[in-house]
Amino acid sequence: MPDTPARVAFLKKTHLFRGLNDGQLASVAEAMQEETYGGTETIFIEGTITDTFYLIFAGSVDIFSLKNKKEVKIASLFKGDYFGEQSLWTNRTHNATVRAQAGTVLLKLYRDKFRALLTKIPDLRPNFATMINSRQLARQVRFSWLNTNEVIYFLSRRHEFRLYQALTGPVLVGLFSLLVLGLVFAFPSVALAGAGGFFLVLALLWGLWQYVDWSNDYYVVTNQRVVSIEKMIGAYDSRDEALMNTILSVNTETDQMGRIFKYGTVVVRTFTGEIRMVYSPRPKQAANMIEEYWLRTKDVSRQNDEEIIKNSIRKKLGLPTKALAAILPPPATSTSSASVPPKSLNDSLAKTVKEKLNFRKEAGETIIYHKHWIVLVRHVVLPTLSVIGLIAFYPLWFVFSVNIMPIWLASIVALAILACVGWWAYGYMDWENDVYQVTPDQIVDIYRVPFGDEDRKSAPLENILSSQYKRSGIFGLLFNYGTVFIQVGGTNFDFVDVVDPPTVQQDIIRRKLVRDQKKREADTAAERERMADWLAMYHRTVTEFQKEAEQNKKQN
């Protein structure tokens, strides 16, 4: 059972209580009640109402949701995570069922005690408000790129101040149009009324465009990565992200206006650059969340390694091993969109076209991508038009000429048609020969000139430092194609003009996570065996020395 000092040390590592001194943390620790679960037990059921907030001090809980009248597991939470936060602010029903696993210890905070703490410790409010706002927004927005067991902890759009700045232009144009319309009453004029109406409609459409543009941008912090999503209608769609284990530092930048309106920039530096969360609301709280999960990833990995090493030593000495506690979320597994059944006739048609044109296919454990069909169209549009024009030459000759077509002319046209067909085939082969691959071990970029040279570039998945995708222009957004940029050490891999770049990026990230986990397990296993051998040898040697010392003592 954790006492108050142990609770205080635990709370210090949680972003919800950053900025509190030891006395304030002690007040929070004393206000919490402890509950231990000896087996699998339900904490609360979906659709019910409680007044309790839970912090996981030890162990883990599973979260379930009803889908088509069946209970489906949607996530697992571990030490340091929390749930039931809506109970502190509202009386809304829970949107999931939560069950504790055996050995789980929870710290509970009731609503009345939380409100008393807010009165006593006002610094608690911004931390909890950031968390509540993130969870509420996460329930409204669904991201298809989330991995299994990936949980959103911070989610926000840019601060409203940025929206107000963007709306300044439309508001000024709207005021100007109202002024023009007002002049119509003093100076009746159709032209003046038309101009005022035109500028008023322009202001409304401009303002709507600015609002939608603002609402499309998100900053996301999960237990696995930091993500910046930026979309501009008719221009581009981009997602920049960094895994937790690639983060080097987390900083915040604010100016006087930002301190007044409570916004700033969160700068997440990685091996290859930085992710800047500009106009982030409550930047200090966002940075605390990132830092907590970044440090927790390191701490959990260290604890896991220590437990495994202990078990290895016990195994070498012939002692029984202990079961490992669930302290680290299991790695994401690679999932294939090809295994998901089509949901509609349009999906079936799209899948058939994809398979025919080989946009994305799987050969064993290798995922193969080709460029979008629009790139193919660009390659073959001229030869296609040329073939159609040359074939149409024959009937047009007989329509507009009274003489029979000379054999030499018909032969030239036929040869030209054959040449254009060859040109078309060359264009198709050139499109088909540009291949991007993601294997269980590496990414591969293959560029092959038809009947010419082949350029093959590859890199191990574990060397990937960051990735980003971008869909540019109206055609890129309408037809869902773009470029995935992958940073590997000092080399850049660009998967150019691929179909559905978010899915391509997600395939790469999933494969990297699995590869990193396997490599880490292999490396630690080898190091663990070496350490276990040395420590076991040391233990046996000490035991032998002790026995020899006891025998010598008896003989003397």
User: Of residues 333 and 456, which shows the higher confidence score?
Assistant: 456
Six-digit token string for 300: 């959990």
Asked if pLDDT for residue 493 goes beyond 80, the answer is: yes
Asked if pLDDT for residue 243 goes beyond 90, the answer is: no
Six-digit token string for 381: 């549009």
CA geometry: angle 517, 518, 519, nearest 5 deg: 95
Say which amino acid occupies 491: T
Asked if pLDDT for residue 534 goes beyond 80, the answer is: no
Rg of the chain over Cα atoms, rounded to whole angstroms, equals 32
Model confidence over 97-151: pLDDT tens digits?
Answer: 999 999 899 999 999 999 999 899 998 888 888 888 888 898 888 887 787 778 8
User: Of residues 327 and 393, which shows the higher confidence score?
Assistant: 393
Percentage of the chain beyond pLDDT 70 is: 89
> pLDDT at position 69, please?
80
Say which amino acid occupies 262: K
> pLDDT at position 345, please?
46
Q: Do domains 1-122 and 350-510 have the same CATH topology?
A: no
User: What fold does the segment set 350-510 form as a domain?
Assistant: PH-domain like (2.30.29)
Q: What are phi and psi of 518, to 5 degrees?
A: -65, -40
For the 1-122 domain, the top CATH level (class) is mainly beta
Asked if pLDDT for residue 382 goes beyond 50, the answer is: yes
Contact 109, 87 (CB under 8 A): no
DSSP 8-state class, residue 403: S
Q: How confident is the model at residue 321 (pLDDT cuts 50, 70, 90)?
A: low
Asked if pLDDT for residue 355 goes beyond 60, the answer is: no
β-pairing, 454-460 vs 60-67, is unpaired
Enumerate the domain spans of the chain: 1-122, 162-214, 350-510
Q: Is the dihedral of CA 542, 543, 547, 550 positive or negative?
A: positive
Q: What mean pLDDT is reported for the chain? A: 82
User: Of residues 473 and 124, which shows the higher confidence score?
Assistant: 124
Q: Tokens 């087996």, residue? A: 39
Select from 82, 74, 86 the least CA-distant residue to 49.
Answer: 86
Read off the pLDDT of each residue in 330-341 and give the average, rounded to a whole number: 38
> pLDDT at position 272, please?
58
Q: How confident is the model at residue 488 (pLDDT cuts 50, 70, 90)?
A: confident
> pLDDT at position 252, please?
92
Model confidence over 361-371: pLDDT tens digits?
Answer: 777 788 888 88
Cα distances from 23 to residues 4, 5, 19, 29, 113, in angstroms, run: 11, 11, 12, 10, 17
